[in-house]
């Protein structure tokens, strides 16, 4: 799936499942994810700098080999979420965390 198709998928679905892979530096910046449920979801690669996740749920989610610099998570539920090889400088505000793993290798 290319970046434009991925963006359309996000815009037209509230529950997001599946595996998506992009080049690590592929520009997916400034995206806003609002009221989305990420379930059995895997996202590999891409640069999501300056994006935001608002009122989102993450259940059985893996973020791997991507950039989350300047990304904000607000009012999100992390039921089971893993970050691996993520270039990160993100913020969490009013989030609920059940299981949240940040590791170099997963």
Q: Is 84 exposed, middle or buried (0-12, 13-18, 19+ CB in 10 A)?
A: middle
The model's pLDDT over 9-68, given as tens digits with 9 standing for 90+, comes to 999 999 999 999 998 778 888 889 999 999 999 999 999 889 999 999 999 999 999 999
Res 105 pLDDT > 80: no
Domains of the chain, first to last: 3-103 (2.160.20.80)
Q: Which two tokens stand for residue 39?
A: 């379930």
The closest alpha carbon to 9, from 20, 51, 29, belongs to: 20
pLDDT for position 84: 94
The model's pLDDT over 73-100, given as tens digits with 9 standing for 90+, comes to 999 999 999 999 998 889 999 999 999 8
pTM to 2 decimal places: 0.89
């Amino acid at each position: 799936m290319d970046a434009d198709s991925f963006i359309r998928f996000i815009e037209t679905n509230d529950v997001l499942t599946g595996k998506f892979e992009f080049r690590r530096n592929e520009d997916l910046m400034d995206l806003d994810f609002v009221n989305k449920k990420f379930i059995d979801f895997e996202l590999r690669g891409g640069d999501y700098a300056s994006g935001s996740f608002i009122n989102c749920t993450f259940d059985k989610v893996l973020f791997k080999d991507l950039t989350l610099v300047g990304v904000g998570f607000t009012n999100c539920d992390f039921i089971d979420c893993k970050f691996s090889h993520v270039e990160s400088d993100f913020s969490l505000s009013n989030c609920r965390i059940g299981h949240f793993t940040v590791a170099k290798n997963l």
